[in-house]
């Protein structure tokens, strides 16, 4: 899909009326992000799929209804990025929140540091790029401040200190309220924090992708950073809806995601099936609820839940009001280890590091 196809400006319409009421908002767990001035729901709406790019296209009306459903469920944090649909996801979020004065009640997290041309992306976290990007995001989001601004990916060409300096200036200018980093390791995060205060870190984290447990998660716990865990459902794998017959259309990234290729796909499906049986037997819950609960029970986390249809958020109520004890976590580990004999991480998602690399990718 080209950038133009992914971002048809005339598709951005007025938000549709909610399809039905969601009134369970009061029950959602919350967490302070760096202090009492920023309190977020522990489930945030992820909008990559809403942008369409790498998810087989965007359904704008459904996207508006999903944002409405999310806020009705009590979600007050929406994660987006300029690159999601090359501006489209931010525009949808901005338009949806502009209605009914909802902007003030919702925290917007967006990102910078990726550049694109003809739908080919590469990293660029230079101060000049960041200064331009923030203004473009503010415009698309129909707002004059961003609540949490993340560096999307580290740029090997630009020293982290220079990038951090650009973020510090945005904070000083009042264009952003808080800083986050994404896909940075512990050492890179430490360097960034020497120059500018960081409140959140946004790494991949779910039952199947646990690389951060070695270093970044303990570091976040010790440093007071909140972890916005992305891919909490492992790109839908942990929803429980998939089978070996599941196919993905168009530019859907799961057509190349190594977890979704056979024979490995069947190993992951077997793990999902065993986890689903475990969740039902012990908690009366689905594997989807178990997967999100597990993320929330690992520390100071927020689960980023990617959704593009309102009904995909119906299970939120199933996630609240219980927790996993240590024996349950050990049994989950055993199931995962026994069923997935050739595990693979989320590394395939890393964008090209430079423009030159992007051209050959």
Ligand X SMILES: NC(=O)c1ccc[n+]([C@@H]2O[C@H](COP(=O)([O-])OP(=O)(O)OC[C@H]3O[C@@H](n4cnc5c(N)ncnc54)[C@H](OP(=O)(O)O)[C@@H]3O)[C@@H](O)[C@H]2O)c1
Nearer to ligand X, 101 or 204 (CB): 204
To ligand X, the closest distance from the beta carbon of 327 in angstroms equals 26
84 as an active site residue: the answer is yes
Tokens of 331: 């049994």
Token pair listed for 130: 């960041």
3-state secondary structure of 305: strand
Which two structure tokens, joined as six digits, stand for 346?
Answer: 């989320």
**Does residue 351 touch ligand X according to CB under 6 A?**
no
Our finding on whether 236 is near ligand X (CB under 6 A) is: yes
> Any idea what DSSP says for residue 209?
B
- Of 84, 205, 219, 230, which residue is the catalytic one? 84
User: What is the CB neighbour count within 10 angstroms for residue 124?
Assistant: 21
Least separation, in Å, of the C-beta of 47 and ligand X? 5
Is 48 a residue that touches ligand X (CB under 6 A)? yes
Interface with ligand X includes 124 (CB under 6 A)? Answer: no
In the range 2-41, which residues lie near ligand X by CB under 6 A?
none
241 binds ligand X (CB under 6 A): yes
The residue within the footprint of ligand X, chosen from 183, 200, 298, 301 (CB under 6 A), is 183
Three-class DSSP category at 301: strand
Examine residue 318 and tell whether it contacts ligand X (CB under 6 A).
no
Which residue has tokens 């205060």? 197
Strand residue runs (E) in 20-113? 30-32, 39-41, 43-46, 77-79, 107-112
Quote the CA–CA distance of 102 and 97 in Å, as a whole number.
5
Q: What distance in Å separates the CA atoms of residue 94 and residue 101, rounded to the nearest whole number?
A: 11
Stretch that binds ligand X, among 164-172, 208-216, 230-238, 261-269 (CB under 6 A): 230-238
Instruction: Work out whether 86 is an interface residue with ligand X (CB under 6 A).
Output: no
- State the catalytic residues: 84
Residues engaged in binding ligand X (CB under 6 A): 46-49, 79, 152, 182-183, 202, 230-236, 239, 241, 288, 304-308, 312, 315
């Amino acid at each position: 899909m080209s950038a133009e196809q992914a971002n048809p400006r005339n598709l951005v319409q007025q938000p549709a009326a909610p399809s039905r009421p969601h009134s369970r908002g009061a029950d959602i767990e919350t967490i302070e992000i760096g202090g009492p001035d920023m309190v977020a729901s522990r489930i945030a709406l992820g909008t990559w799929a809403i942008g369409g790019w790498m998810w087989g296209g965007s359904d704008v009306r459904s996207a508006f209804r999903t944002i409405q459903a999310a806020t009705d469920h009590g979600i007050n944090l929406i994660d987006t990025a300029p690159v999601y649909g090359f501006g489209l996801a931010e525009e949808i979020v901005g338009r949806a929140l502009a209605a009914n004065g909802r902007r003030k009640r919702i925290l917007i997290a967006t990102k910078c540091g990726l550049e694109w041309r003809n739908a080919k992306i590469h990293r660029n976290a230079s101060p000049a790029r960041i200064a331009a990007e923030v203004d473009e995001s503010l415009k698309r989001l129909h707002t004059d401040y961003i609540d949490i601004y993340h560096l999307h990916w580290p740029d090997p060409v630009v020293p982290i200190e220079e990038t951090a300096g650009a973020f510090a200036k945005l904070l000083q200018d009042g264009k952003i309220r808080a800083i986050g980093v994404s896909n940075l390791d512990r050492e890179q995060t430490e360097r960034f924090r020497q120059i500018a205060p960081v409140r959140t870190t946004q790494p991949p984290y779910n039952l199947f992708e646990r690389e951060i447990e070695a270093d970044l998660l303990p570091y976040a716990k010790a440093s007071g950073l909140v972890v916005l865990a992305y891919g909490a459902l492992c790109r839908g794998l942990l929803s429980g809806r998939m089978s070996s017959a599941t196919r993905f259309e168009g530019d859907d990234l799961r057509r190349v995601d190594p977890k979704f290729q056979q024979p490995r796909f069947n190993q992951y499906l077997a793990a999902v099936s065993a986890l689903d049986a475990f969740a039902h037997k012990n908690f009366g819950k689905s594997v989807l609820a178990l997967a999100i609960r597990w993320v929330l029970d690992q520390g100071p986390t927020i689960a980023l839940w990617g959704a593009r249809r309102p009904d995909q958020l119906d299970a939120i109520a199933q996630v609240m009001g219980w927790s996993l004890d240590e024996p349950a976590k050990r049994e989950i580990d055993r199931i995962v280890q026994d069923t997935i004999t050739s595990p693979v991480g989320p590394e395939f998602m890393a964008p090209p590091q430079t423009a030159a690399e992007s051209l050959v990718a």
